[in-house]
Amino acid sequence: MDVTEAVPTATHCPYCALQCAQTLTRTPTGVEVSARDFPTNRGGMCQKGWTSARLLDVPDRLTTPLLRVGGELVEVDWDTALDHLAGRLAAIRAESGPDAVAVFGGGGLTNEKAYQLGKFARVALGTANIDYNGRFCMSSAAAAANRSLGLDRGLPFPLEDLRGAQAVLLLGSNLAETMPPGLNHLADVRAGGGLLVVDPRRSATAALAADGGGLHLQPVPGTDLPVLLGLTHVVLRDGLADEQYLATRTSGAEDVRASVSAWWPERVEQVTGVPVASLVRAARRLAAASPVHGGTGGYVLTGRGVEQSSQGTDTVTAAINLALVLGLCGRQGSGYGAITGQGNGQGGREHGQKADQLPGYRMIDDPAARAHVAGVWGVHPDSLPGRGLPAVALLASLGTPGGPRALMVHGANVRVSAPNAGDVAERLAALDLLVVCDIVPSETARLADVVLPVTQWAEEEGTMTSLEGRVIRRRRAVPAPDGVRSELWILSELARRLGAPSRWPTAPAEVFDELARASAGGRADYSGLSHARLDGGEALFWPCPAVPAGSPAHPGTPRPFLDRFPTPDGRARMVPVEHRGPQERPDAGRPLHLVTGRVLQHYQSGAQTRRVPELLAASPEAFAELHPLTAERLGVADGVWVRLSNRRGEVRVRARLSADVRTDTVFVPFHFPGAGSVNEITNDAVDPVSQMPEFKVCAVDLRPEVPAGAAPAPAVPTRRGGGR
């Protein structure tokens, strides 16, 4: 078709789980991006969305399969690449068993690709070892929601519901930089002084809260859990709880009441640094918004800052307990929710990429679940493997005796994004075979033995599931470059070469129909959905089960907890939790807390956004943000090179002085490779329930760089609990 005749294509942004609606239009000079009105973004986009079309023609776009020969990656044709790959996979499996091949997926894959990847791992490869980078994103929130509320669906309400709230408690999320259009839904609550932000930095979101008459609670890194225990203590102590709600809609309330009784505000201040007055004011403001006190609604929201922790599941559980004590969950206009980060972080875990799950959010060790999914796949249930290793353990096992000898990576850049990334690089190097499917030569792809070029968002059809459980359509707007193939085609071709049973369709709509059948009856039931139905109304919330012929189609479930919780007794379970603290704390040798996070211009490992000139120019490198008083003690000037080090390694970045960070803390963004790759030194300790790694807090030494031969500056311990 001539570009002048091209019809604008309605699709969604390729980045975060907000999935802003956009229109792509082909022109003689490229592709134009415009924002569309949609409930999540309401006609807005951030810098990443506006520049997203630049991803379509980056100079180093992968367009030909690459095979490592004599230490170098050389171009080969598809048959050569796939024949070689299938032969190596078959040989490794024959020599060492199916679990010797592992698969690592991504939260940016469409539902169709995530589903097919999970099926490929378990049917074509027969391996238990599949997990994905969503383990780094939502696993703690998922584990807590499942055990407390009976269902993990990021936000169990439409994002638009926040617009009517009187108060919102936001923990560990900097929406102003990570999801700017989403912040529009909090405009009214901020204007009313009801935005309450918990963050060890005065982030852009925390500043908006404080400047709007709300509150910014700035705890010692790793102490968000005691803040929540203290808030719940105040609510119960001051008679602000919704006692009727607790009696009729929850179980375990008395155990939680007893467990938080020891967290009086003065103790919370001693542990967290949050003043008593601020804690009490936050508790009372949130309580005033609750329905039992005549408020218009309140919400408790968590993000990665509190979830990426060795006590992340318990921290989210404490957030849910607080929301339940106030009677917020399962009521229109109130609730608890977790803010999903990755574009399809929600759908990616629902349909088979996690080590312990099958499609429909079924558990892989449930005999009924295995029987149902095996029936859809046309295989015997006993042929399906059991639970595999979660992401951190999986990466640590690569190339070890008895561990996987081969790894297939889809939609992830683990060389930059994994914790303790230096050790991950060593494990990747120990493999006999590393295969990477990607659109660009990411840091992980450069280490691979086989690199396969795949389609990206504007070149493919499919579905994504947003942070609120809304299943949306991704539509093809432009053709893929010559030589590029869809992962659905690649998996189908490999399955054929491996002699795998089952059917391996390549049409996204056909794969989705199979996914829908496999999900039927599961917690994440998509069986009432199809591409055709979504094209008619664009988006519907799951669960959306199929209905008998002749009945009206199921409308989807925007708010799944209004009538009951999906637990055996219909009640939310309140679970007492205790504070253990991070696994690594500052000491004389490593006196600073290191916290990591995002900047406005970049996304995840930066493999895509660092290739967009406008975004890279605005944020070209990593930096270490530290307080001027800390810098003065350490002899650090603004803009000089500094080295952060701990037992895992060293990072070299420029110093950026700011009073927005605590005096005991340094902040570094995680989007950058090389000497500034902060994940070289982040902690790979994990939460015992979710297996989420502790990205967000560890201990470091910070010193200014000095000329060769000069005596290094001494490390000066900083005061614990300062910076208020």
In this predicted model, what pLDDT tens digit does every residue of 81-101 receive, in sequence order?
999 999 999 999 999 999 999
Tell whether the model's pLDDT for residue 18 goes beyond 50: yes
Contacts of 116 (CB under 8 A, 6+ apart): 487, 488, 491, 504, 511
Tell whether the model's pLDDT for residue 695 goes beyond 80: yes
Tell whether the model's pLDDT for residue 457 goes beyond 70: yes
Task: Please tell me the predicted confidence (pLDDT) of residue 713.
Answer: 42
Average pLDDT over residues 362-378: 97
Average pLDDT over residues 673-701: 97
Half-sphere exposure of 15 (CA within 13 A, CB side): 27
Fold entry, domain 3-57: N-terminal domain of TfIIb (2.20.25)
Task: Please tell me the predicted confidence (pLDDT) of residue 137.
Answer: 87
Rounded Cα–Cα distance for residues 524 and 221 (Å): 34
Q: Which CATH architecture has domain 66-136+376-507?
A: 3-Layer(aba) Sandwich (3.40)
Task: Please tell me the predicted confidence (pLDDT) of residue 721.
Answer: 29
Fold entry, domain 139-338: Dimethylsulfoxide Reductase; domain 2 (3.40.228)
Burial 670-686 (b: 16+ CB within 10 A, else e): bbbbeebbbbbbbbbbb
Tell whether the model's pLDDT for residue 722 goes beyond 70: no
pLDDT tier at 336 (50, 70, 90 boundaries)? very high
Task: Please tell me the predicted confidence (pLDDT) of residue 349.
Answer: 86
Tell whether the model's pLDDT for residue 58 goes beyond 60: yes
Query: How many other CB atoms sit within 10 Å of the CB of residue 257?
Result: 18
Tokens read off for 483: 């030589």
Task: Please tell me the predicted confidence (pLDDT) of residue 341.
Answer: 84
Residue 346 burial by Cβ neighbours in a 10 Å radius (0-12, 13-18, 19+): buried
Under a CB-based contact definition with an 8 Å cutoff, are residues 516 and 529 in contact?
A: yes
Give the residue from 661, 676, 666 showing the smallest Cα distance to 621.
Answer: 676
Task: Please tell me the predicted confidence (pLDDT) of residue 714.
Answer: 43
Element (H, E) at 79: helix 78-96
Tell whether the model's pLDDT for residue 716 goes beyond 80: no
Task: Please tell me the predicted confidence (pLDDT) of residue 7.
Answer: 82
Q: How far is CA 422 from CA 403, 418, 453, 650, in A?
A: 19, 9, 26, 10
Rounded Cα–Cα distance for residues 491 and 58 (Å): 25
Length of the chain: 724
Q: Percent of the chain scored above 70 by pLDDT?
A: 96
Tell whether the model's pLDDT for residue 710 goes beyond 70: no
Half-sphere exposure of 51 (CA within 13 A, CB side): 19
Rounded Cα–Cα distance for residues 441 and 672 (Å): 15
Contacts of 231 (CB under 8 A, 6+ apart): 169, 279, 282, 283, 286, 322
Tokens read off for 448: 């691979």
pLDDT tier at 661 (50, 70, 90 boundaries)? very high
Tell whether the model's pLDDT for residue 707 goes beyond 70: no
Tell whether the model's pLDDT for residue 712 goes beyond 80: no
Tokens read off for 473: 């359509």
Average pLDDT over residues 104-125: 97
Q: Which CATH architecture has domain 592-704?
A: Beta Barrel (2.40)
Structural domain boundaries of the chain?
A: 3-57, 66-136+376-507, 139-338, 592-704
Mean pLDDT of the chain: 94
Give the residue from 240, 335, 250, 326 showing the smallest Cα distance to 290.
Answer: 326
Tell whether the model's pLDDT for residue 573 goes beyond 60: yes
pLDDT in tens, 509-558: 999 999 999 999 999 999 999 999 999 876 899 999 999 999 999 999 99
Average pLDDT over residues 581-591: 95
Residue 247, SS3? helix
Average the pLDDT over each of 286-300, 668-682, 698-712 and give the range with the smallest value.
698-712
Task: Please tell me the predicted confidence (pLDDT) of residue 380.
Answer: 98
Rounded Cα–Cα distance for residues 595 and 697 (Å): 5
pLDDT in tens, 124-166: 999 999 999 999 988 999 999 999 999 999 999 999 999 999 9
Tokens read off for 229: 């225990």
Average pLDDT over residues 495-513: 98
Residue-wise DSSP of 194-213: -EEEE-SB--HHHHHHHHTT
Q: How far is CA 722 from CA 215, 218, 275, 664, in A?
A: 18, 10, 11, 6
